[in-house]
Amino acid sequence: MRHIEVIPTGDALGAEVRGVNIAKPIADDIAAEIRQAFLDHLVIFLHDQDITPQQQLAFAQRFGEPMAYPQLKGLSESPLVTPVIKLEHERVNFGGIWHSDTAYLEHPPMASMLYALETPPRGGDTLFANQYLAYETLSDSIKKTLHGLIGVNTSTKAEASKTREDRMRDSGDELKVLVSKHPAVRTHPETGRKSLYVNIGHTSHFEGWTENESRDLLTLLFNHQVQSEFVFRFHWEPGSLAFWDNRCTQHLPVNDYQGYRRVMHRVTLAGDRPR
């Protein structure tokens, strides 16, 4: 890298990017290096950023097309920026289950970009899991079983929909029932690597199998894909920004900061149909 410093943060995935102020327009050669770091490390982190929603959106637009989050309204002044908030009295955190963002869409997002405005004095970390490694470490027999299997993903799995209830109630939104079918193993369109593409938050069963028939294999995969050796834990501070690849990662916001407020802004980048 000629313009930025990239410091790996964990053996499984993740890197900190230094030398970039995203409040200002980013030159093409710098954006290219940031994208390469993103592809190499699956999730990248920038610290000490002081940005408006419009500046976050402008930075995100250097890497893809921002899209609306289907379940919640965005900010009034910047509709493609979605507030992700947990208030002091709330017990359940938004998205508090292992998942890849909105896998229930026909074209799931390529990436998500989350910026921290307010963080609790302790806790509130996010775990990220490498789904390349999750696939590559499966036995040949399981890989053969998964070949050609299609996962059915839904927005209404109880474990995931419960995590959105507080935000949807406050905004007056209703849960949208969305269902999509995607390969259980997908090939990354930019790197060519295969990754495991089922998740406990959204995948209900395999196409052509009942939920009961799917349960044992899905449970095995759900447990396998978030083993500690595939995971990096990120600690947020105000001004931190994380940019992760939904095509080859999962994430879990940890709900361990009861009594404190956490306020983030998210931009989601549109993706293609998994293959």
pLDDT, tens digit, for every residue of 92-119?
Answer: 888 899 999 999 999 999 999 999 999 9
The CATH superfamily label for domain 5-269 reads Clavaminate synthase-like (3.60.130.10)
Whether residue 171 is predicted with pLDDT greater than 60 in this model: the reply is no
Residues whose CB falls within 8 Å of the CB of residue 21, separated by 6 or more in sequence, listed in order: 49
Q: What pairing do the DSSP bridges indicate for beta strands 150-154 and 203-206?
A: antiparallel
- Cα(111)–Cα(37) distance, integer angstroms: 14
pLDDT of residue 127: 98
Q: Which of 41, 247, 265, 266 is catalytic?
A: 266
CA proximity to 71, closest of 55, 61, 83, 58 = 83
pLDDT of residue 6: 98
pLDDT of residue 169: 54
Q: Look up 182 and say whether it is catalytic.
A: no
Q: Look up 251 and say whether it is catalytic.
A: yes
Q: Which of 186, 247, 251, 265 is catalytic?
A: 251
Mean pLDDT of 243-260: 97
pLDDT of residue 159: 63
CA proximity to 127, closest of 95, 170, 85 = 95
Q: Look up 266 and say whether it is catalytic.
A: yes
Q: Look up 216 and say whether it is catalytic.
A: no
φ, ψ (nearest 5 deg) of residue 31: -60, -40
